[in-house]
Structure formats: structure tokens, C-alpha cells
């Protein structure tokens, strides 16, 4: 007669690839939801710029943000994504040191970019309520900063887990999924820089 221990946990083993595909679906849905949010912000920018109701897009005599700074920030995000994918290719080839080094560099670049984003937010030559352009810029910059901080957190987690030898050439789903998110964040930063490069409203009559 066998004994049964009440409360003994049951162990369920699943194929890692099956689990990974489920995680990938979740990440893709997250990117889709965040993409809808970013698309709404970009659409609002172009809509307000094109409408220019009562010439409220840019206030008379108002200074505007530097387009160059916007592209430099986007370039920092793209560079960090490139470094992370270099690290990802390393672990897929079985190189743990490359994963750890590449992820550390990617997070460092991302944090430097986040500092630059904070500096831009705190030195805009206008207030958030000065015009429709001002409100749109603050919102887009704030959304980009959120992306940077969240991605830096994920990157730091990947670096720490890589340092603890958790990932290998046959088990690196989490690293790959963070790579998908990182690529999206870089793309969103480029779209934001492109959008904010258009400042003057075509509807000068308002």
C-alpha cells in the first residue's frame, strides 16, 4: 500500500520550445498593444500639426526643440539594440562571455540615452501647456523615456542571468524575446524622431 503526501507539488515538464513559443506570442501581443499607443501619439502629432486650429500648433514667437537632439537620442537606442543583438548572437553560438559583455554595453548605452532624454525633457525651451506642439513633444519624450527605462530593466535582468550562467546555446528563449522588444523600442524611437522632424504646420492660415 503506497502512501500519498498531501500537498506534494506535481511536476509538469513541457518542451522548452513550446513554452518559448507561448512567451513569444505574449511579447508580440505586448508589442502590438504598445505599437497602437505609439501610433496614436504619432497620429495626434501630425493631426494637430495639420489642423493648426486658431494657430495653436506653435505659439507666436515660441522656440522649438532641436531636431538633431531627437535623432541623436534615437541613434543611441538603435546602437543599444545593435549591441544587444550582438550579445544574442553570441549566446546562440554558445558564448556566455559575449552575452554578458554585449548586454552590459547595451544597457550602458541605453542608460546614457535615458539620461539624455531626461536632459531634453528638463531643458525644453517651452512649457508643456504653451502650445499643441509643446504638449505633443512632452508626451512623446515621456513615452520614449518609459521605453528606455523598461528596456534597461529587462536588459539588466538578462545581464544578471547571463552572469549566473542560466542561458546556453540550447536554452536562450528569454534573451531572444527581450531582443524582439528591444528592436521594437529602437524602431519606435526612430519613428518618433522622424515625426518630430516636421515642425512647421502646412495650414498656416489656422
For cell 522632424, name the residue: 197
Span 144-154, average pLDDT: 98
- Where do the H-state alpha helices sit in 56-95? 67-92
| Surface-to-core class of residue 134, CB atoms within 10 Å of its CB (0-12 exposed, 13-18 middle, 19+ buried) | buried
pLDDT tens for 18-43 read 666 777 898 999 999 999 999 999 99
Question: What's residue 21's pLDDT?
Answer: 75
What are the boundaries of each domain within the chain? Answer: 71-199
Rg (CA), the chain: 22
Q: What local confidence, expressed as pLDDT, does residue 4 receive? A: 47
Give mean pLDDT, residues 177-183. 97
Range with lowest mean pLDDT among 15-24, 53-62, 102-111: 15-24
pTM, 2 dp: 0.89
Spatial separation of the C-alpha atoms in residues 83 and 102, rounded to whole Å: 6
Higher pLDDT, 178 or 205: 178
Number of Cβ within 10 Å of residue 70's Cβ equals 23
Cell numbers 495650414: residue:
203
97: left (phi over 0), alpha (psi -120 to 50) or beta: alpha
| CATH code 1.20.120.80 for 71-199 | yes
C-alpha to C-alpha distance for 50 and 57, rounded to whole angstroms: 9
Amino acid at each position: 500500500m503506497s502512501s500519498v503526501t498531501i500537498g506534494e507539488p506535481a511536476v509538469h515538464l513541457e518542451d522548452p520550445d513550446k513554452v518559448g513559443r507561448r512567451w513569444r506570442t505574449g511579447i508580440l501581443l505586448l508589442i502590438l498593444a504598445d505599437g497602437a499607443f505609439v501610433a496614436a501619439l504619432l497620429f495626434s502629432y501630425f493631426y494637430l500639426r495639420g489642423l493648426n486650429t486658431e494657430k495653436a500648433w506653435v505659439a507666436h514667437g515660441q522656440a522649438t526643440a532641436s531636431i538633431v537632439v531627437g535623432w541623436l537620442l534615437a541613434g543611441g537606442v538603435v546602437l543599444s539594440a545593435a549591441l544587444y543583438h550582438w550579445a544574442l548572437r553570441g549566446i546562440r553560438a554558445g558564448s556566455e562571455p559575449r552575452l554578458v559583455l554585449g548586454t552590459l554595453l547595451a544597457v550602458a548605452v541605453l542608460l546614457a540615452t535615458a539620461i539624455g532624454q531626461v536632459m531634453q525633457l528638463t531643458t525644453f525651451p517651452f512649457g508643456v501647456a504653451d502650445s499643441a506642439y509643446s504638449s505633443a513633444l512632452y508626451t512623446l519624450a515621456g513615452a520614449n523615456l518609459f521605453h528606455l527605462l523598461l528596456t534597461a530593466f529587462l536588459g539588466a535582468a538578462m545581464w544578471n542571468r547571463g552572469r549566473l550562467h542560466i542561458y546556453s546555446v540550447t536554452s536562450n528563449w528569454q534573451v531572444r524575446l527581450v531582443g524582439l522588444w528591444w528592436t521594437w523600442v529602437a524602431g519606435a524611437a526612430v519613428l518618433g524622431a522622424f515625426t518630430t522632424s516636421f515642425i512647421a504646420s502646412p495650414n498656416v492660415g489656422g
